[in-house]
Structure 1
């Protein structure tokens, strides 16, 4: 294939039509900038659950079973703390807070409840309104209140779920209690299992917070999904405000060292800005929302863009240093680097596009946007930047534009050049021994990495409970917001047993009029799995069966109806089920029945209580086994099951994308080196340091206890993309140098020339992206740490491991007796010229 004519055509356009090229790219930038205003946001956990069977079942459960799961209502929690929240004064504080919220029309309160309300009704059973309940408590003595608290604990199961686990019946005391406020939300709220980035409840709960605080109820805190949603957004914004300035400072610092010329650095920064505008403008025009996953895209574009920019300018300076003119120097530069940039872009795009195989939409969006962004980066830095550099240096010949330095990094007579050739020194002496040691380390890291945990929970998206002191002392606008969600969530988990125990739901689809329908539900509770709570040897559950049994226990007429249709006398009707259902729906038990049976009798839900200490994976596995026991179609669902399903998909996506990225990049590199050099085996050599990098990073993730979560799931594919970037520059430069020099000289010229650019790129991106570790959003911090490590590992393996790989590659492909030469543990002893193709 005669690819050179295409490269020559591109060289001509860049050099001869440089001004036209620059203007064209600026116009395209304006076009893409129009899409920046159309970018929407999508945050939180809900974006990751779309399309999963468990999530779809959960949404159907929430849609079909009302009124408890009605999609047009929302709940707010009132968390009360104190020495004794069941004392007379504390009960009145809670009731008055409820009353103030009920009186606030904008809050659309449809009902309130609390332990205080229950106690008040034990004092005065006729006290149906909050105002009447306040009067009941005000007129009661302390001993009467204590007695009412004990009666409430004995007679009302809801009471014990609303008081903390340290409730003392004897002293009628507890340190915390919950109040519940129900709001009508005309626009509806999400009924899915995930937490969205915005919520109609946010403004309502903010108003409720102000209302309660302004009344002086300092011991009562307002909490709910709307406040959680607001903090989801705030933590991302605060993280960017904190890290972006630091990243800019580091990037400018190291770019100034790499370029050592203000005008050249300005060109590089303009190109970086264009890459960001093109990518995010494309997102806006394509209607792709910005999510937490896409926070990773700007650092990636910076990493690849900085690398391309430094390489382009550094390679151009190498030619200029030899006295070559502007046009000819740029032709030589682009003739070589366009090919290298194309290889890097191809393999990097493959690495990111591997995420398109994920079943999670945010991961697919990340893969697609990252691949598009890297493609844009290739054109901007491969075409625009060289053309702009030609224009700049042409203007320098006409006008007194300051030039500070045009010396390339890593030149032969520099101290840096001597340091960079450390990998060549190893390759000269003991390449095989070094690679055997590398193989052992890589294998060990890979085996160790198999223990990486997987996580998916709301906690992945929340700030830490306490920020570092130095973060809290930052002045505006860098000071982060005050976060309460993590503290409140931890408090609820610590204080309330009801929040520690979980639930697993089975969504059953089938003709519930069929005689065996209720017996199926009842038998499913026999011999429950270990993670399910047991009551009298059966699984603790609520369903239409338990609603029927509860109604039968207090309604003689209904009990007789059940007994007439109960063939085996187990309290579960077997015949005339539609008649049984109609009786329930015409009674006061209608709402409770519709919590577990759809109105068309085509589906039902069964809710099982699970052990507090059981892991999500164990609960999910057991729930799925129970669902399989149903004859009707049954799906295990609920928050625990949905989140575990997402966690499983995250791990599956990480492994799958890693395999596809490695395989795809290897095939691409083999093919491209066959086309370019007639040496397909160079592609295999190119992949070796990438494999080492991936293994080292995966092992580091386990060592640092960083799990695969919604943000870090793509790290292995990203590492392939960035690792190939570094190794391709070395391999492609080496292949070019081998046309004119012997093996050692070619390696030496490669690491001195390309290694200098790689060092500048590595330092800039490691520090520029590494500052994400300062983010108050933990997942962003983890991503920053891992990305910086992957770049550092890619640099080290490209300059330390790859030279030895290339020496061994040369022994195998350029020798009449490759095995004999391979077993020679020493380095090369004679200059070796490449052959025309692989043996």
Structure 2
């Protein structure tokens, strides 16, 4: 009875399981540390006045800290440490919140200074920054209304919205100032500053600039929103919420940029800023060189793009998904250091892994299935410690419970198992013993074990091999039994796979949405399906090239797709189409105003005006994301670096490859306009 049950407990294995992994072969030579594990419930129902998991985590943290002080006082051992997963999550989340606040403040300061240098006006700088902050506040408010849960993937949202808001603001303000310069240039009245324009002309310039800019912005914002909302197709809720919040933020920024920003500029008088200092619009040697290249060296530009694409294609093929646990944490925190020590020294996962055994658990066949599952785990490379579950718990408790001891001693017949089942499922004392291990119908139990799950790829390989072994083991048991793996680390591995799928899905949806929108725009303009498809496709090619280059550089540099960089394809396309549409619309405007000129002249003028605004927007956006390099979290740093590359490539592609490819259509439009003018004469 009691004594035979105690003798069946493998005390040696339980003791060795507390030692570091490398000491288990020679336990007598171990010099520590020793790991003692306790299971603590995190169900709010088990705590008074605890409504959410955060309340429970706070209480566990307080209890663990108090216990550590008590143990140190009673043992005089200052090397004692207490680790709890509640403390780990609590402190990690608090640190992330603090860090994002600091990084957002730095980005806000940097962008404010950059905008002032660009605008040379405190008023216009305050308009753009203020409206962007208002849009961010509206985004968080809407997220709260829709009860969207914030997660680690959302850490970059404030900086992303700041950068894009400033980007849109630069386009709007710069274009309005350009229209005012054109008014004075075409009808000289001695107006030397922005303040010299009367209200009627200022209102005309603001309306014209806002309308001209909104065409490109609406395309960019629509495609961006479609891309981010495509994350709602993901099975991972953190990606669903992330995409929804970003879409809400972009919509808020767009609405404020084309409505409230022009309204503020209309309501309040402009600063007496000299026109020549309100924004450089003059052509330079560089803009002329870009124009000459677009007209006279298109083959060379295309050849260079193709040559650069070859190594990028190789880089794309080597790009991998990475969701390694160790990369998600800030190792400057003591609790994170404890976590890493446990994972490395003891080869343990931060939370247990589980085998979920389903079938008639409280039967002779159930005991056999349980033992086979334990044996399978014990024989699997990578499993550390001693797997434990229902029957181990019952054996360890029988020495303190005479009723249980008698029941376990009579498991030689089916009636004995029926009596044990009635005690464990219907008796309150019996239920308390197995509440966390046995489901209320007696058809499901869990076996907990530990394994090293820091490396994402190793976890995937481990899960595949063990799942196959468990499937074979369950088929060897008489009766209907199943053995499935579960656990937090395995869920993270599944997330990694879904991250890859979401990256491909979102990028593909955005890409083809952009192509469709570009074709529709060109059809409205040309009233020709053939011209619409050709023109839309030509504008689309540089955008896809940029995405390929971005992913290629990530692959060549050893970067991985994770919860942050998964969005880079959609973002690169969104910003790329913003730049491309701004640039193409301005090229077409130049052709309409000066059909007698050449591709080189149209390109040079467009680059000198719209290109400058694009450069300012690119610098501000890249600068905002450069702040992420100060983060203590590797995924955020990588996201900032990759986004800078994406913005730079989108900018360069728009002013070099795009006018080269679009040149024949510009000549066609100019020829048509000149023919129409000749007929009218």
With the length of structure 1 as denominator, give the TM-score of the two structures. 0.65
Q: Which stretch shows the higher mean deviation, 212-221 or 231-240?
A: 212-221
Instruction: Give the 5 Å matches for 1:505-654.
Output: 505-512=354-361, 517=366, 532=381, 577-578=417-418, 581=421, 597-607=438-448, 615-626=458-469, 628-629=471-472, 630=474, 631-632=480-481, 634-654=483-503
Inter-CA distance 186–234: structure 2 relative to 1 (3 Å threshold): closer
- Residue 500 of structure 2 contacts residue 561 of structure 2 at CA under 8 Å; is this kept in 1? yes
CA apart distance, 1:607: 4.9
- Residue 127 of structure 2 contacts residue 261 of structure 2 at CA under 8 Å; is this kept in 1? yes
- Residue 57 of structure 2 contacts residue 87 of structure 2 at CA under 8 Å; is this kept in 1? no
Aligned to 2:293: 426
Aligned to 1:824: none
Tell me the secondary structure at the aligned position of residue 323 of structure 1.
helix
Q: Determine if the alignment matches structure 1 residue 335 to structure 2 residue 211.
A: yes
Tell me the secondary structure at the aligned position of residue 281 of structure 2.
coil
Aligned to 2:521: 672
Q: Determine if the alignment matches structure 1 residue 686 to structure 2 residue 539.
A: yes
Distance (Å, rounded) in 2 between the aligned partners of 1:254 and 1:637: 50
CA apart distance, 1:716: 1.9
- Residue 584 of structure 1 contacts residue 590 of structure 1 at CA under 8 Å; is this kept in 2? yes
Cα deviation code 1:275-310 (max 9, x no counterpart): 222222222333334333223222232232222222
Q: Determine if the alignment matches structure 1 residue 492 to structure 2 residue 492.
A: no
Aligned to 1:708: 561
Distance (Å, rounded) in 2 between the aligned partners of 1:227 and 1:759: 45
Cα deviation code 1:730-786 (max 9, x no counterpart): 122223333333533332222221101011111112112211110123322222222
- Residue 189 of structure 1 contacts residue 200 of structure 1 at CA under 8 Å; is this kept in 2? no
Inter-CA distance 834–487: structure 2 relative to 1 (3 Å threshold): farther
Inter-CA distance 297–676: structure 2 relative to 1 (3 Å threshold): farther
Distance (Å, rounded) in 1 between the aligned partners of 2:408 and 2:132: 75
Distance (Å, rounded) in 2 between the aligned partners of 1:266 and 1:548: 69
CA apart distance, 1:646: 1.5
CA apart distance, 1:344: 1.6
- Residue 170 of structure 2 contacts residue 617 of structure 2 at CA under 8 Å; is this kept in 1? yes
CA apart distance, 1:239: 2.0
CA apart distance, 1:228: 1.0
- Residue 541 of structure 1 contacts residue 607 of structure 1 at CA under 8 Å; is this kept in 2? yes
- Residue 712 of structure 1 contacts residue 779 of structure 1 at CA under 8 Å; is this kept in 2? yes
- Residue 543 of structure 1 contacts residue 605 of structure 1 at CA under 8 Å; is this kept in 2? yes
Distance (Å, rounded) in 1 between the aligned partners of 2:418 and 2:329: 47
- Residue 199 of structure 1 contacts residue 225 of structure 1 at CA under 8 Å; is this kept in 2? no
CA apart distance, 1:664: 1.9
Tell me the secondary structure at the aligned position of residue 282 of structure 2.
coil
Q: Determine if the alignment matches structure 1 residue 204 to structure 2 residue 63.
A: yes
Cα deviation code 1:131-168 (max 9, x no counterpart): xxxxxxxxxxxxxxxxxxxxxx9954322222335659
Q: Which stretch shows the higher mean deviation, 647-656 or 673-682?
A: 673-682
Inter-CA distance 639–278: structure 2 relative to 1 (3 Å threshold): closer
Q: Which stretch shows the higher mean deviation, 707-716 or 749-758?
A: 707-716
Distance (Å, rounded) in 2 between the aligned partners of 1:798 and 1:195: 48
| Structural RMSD (CA) | 4.3
- Residue 154 of structure 2 contacts residue 242 of structure 2 at CA under 8 Å; is this kept in 1? yes
- Residue 388 of structure 2 contacts residue 447 of structure 2 at CA under 8 Å; is this kept in 1? yes
Aligned to 1:657: 506
Distance (Å, rounded) in 1 between the aligned partners of 2:405 and 2:562: 54
- Residue 690 of structure 1 contacts residue 723 of structure 1 at CA under 8 Å; is this kept in 2? yes
Aligned to 1:411: 281
- Residue 330 of structure 1 contacts residue 386 of structure 1 at CA under 8 Å; is this kept in 2? yes
- Residue 588 of structure 2 contacts residue 666 of structure 2 at CA under 8 Å; is this kept in 1? no
Aligned to 1:28: none
Aligned to 2:642: 786
Distance (Å, rounded) in 1 between the aligned partners of 2:349 and 2:248: 44
Aligned to 2:33: 176
- Residue 323 of structure 2 contacts residue 562 of structure 2 at CA under 8 Å; is this kept in 1? yes
Q: Which stretch shows the higher mean deviation, 450-459 or 502-511?
A: 502-511
- Residue 352 of structure 1 contacts residue 721 of structure 1 at CA under 8 Å; is this kept in 2? no
Which of the numbers 292, 304, 313 marks the counterpart of 2:173?
A: 313
Q: Determine if the alignment matches structure 1 residue 727 to structure 2 residue 564.
A: no
- Residue 290 of structure 2 contacts residue 600 of structure 2 at CA under 8 Å; is this kept in 1? no
Which of the numbers 251, 259, 262 marks the counterpart of 1:386?
A: 262
- Residue 730 of structure 1 contacts residue 755 of structure 1 at CA under 8 Å; is this kept in 2? yes
Q: Which stretch shows the higher mean deviation, 194-203 or 762-771?
A: 194-203
Cα deviation code 1:263-282 (max 9, x no counterpart): 22222222222222222222
Which of the numbers 241, 246, 259 marks the counterpart of 1:370?
A: 246
Distance (Å, rounded) in 1 between the aligned partners of 2:141 and 2:294: 46
Inter-CA distance 437–369: structure 2 relative to 1 (3 Å threshold): same
Q: Determine if the alignment matches structure 1 residue 454 to structure 2 residue 330.
A: no
Aligned to 2:158: 298
Inter-CA distance 173–380: structure 2 relative to 1 (3 Å threshold): closer
Return 5+ residue gaps in structure 1 as ranges: 1-152, 466-482, 566-574, 816-829
Distance (Å, rounded) in 2 between the aligned partners of 1:834 and 1:283: 53
- Residue 454 of structure 1 contacts residue 707 of structure 1 at CA under 8 Å; is this kept in 2? yes
Tell me the secondary structure at the aligned position of residue 109 of structure 2.
helix
- Residue 506 of structure 1 contacts residue 623 of structure 1 at CA under 8 Å; is this kept in 2? no
Inter-CA distance 788–205: structure 2 relative to 1 (3 Å threshold): farther
- Residue 697 of structure 1 contacts residue 789 of structure 1 at CA under 8 Å; is this kept in 2? yes
Structure 1 or 2: more helix by fraction: 2
Distance (Å, rounded) in 2 between the aligned partners of 1:197 and 1:259: 51
Distance (Å, rounded) in 2 between the aligned partners of 1:501 and 1:187: 21
Tell me the secondary structure at the aligned position of residue 134 of structure 2.
helix
CA apart distance, 1:382: 1.0
- Residue 195 of structure 1 contacts residue 458 of structure 1 at CA under 8 Å; is this kept in 2? no
Q: Determine if the alignment matches structure 1 residue 774 to structure 2 residue 615.
A: no
Distance (Å, rounded) in 2 between the aligned partners of 1:611 and 1:294: 28
Distance (Å, rounded) in 2 between the aligned partners of 1:423 and 1:309: 26
Q: Which stretch shows the higher mean deviation, 442-451 or 662-671?
A: 442-451
Distance (Å, rounded) in 1 between the aligned partners of 2:380 and 2:298: 55
- Residue 540 of structure 1 contacts residue 608 of structure 1 at CA under 8 Å; is this kept in 2? yes
Aligned to 1:355: 231
Q: Determine if the alignment matches structure 1 residue 163 to structure 2 residue 19.
A: yes
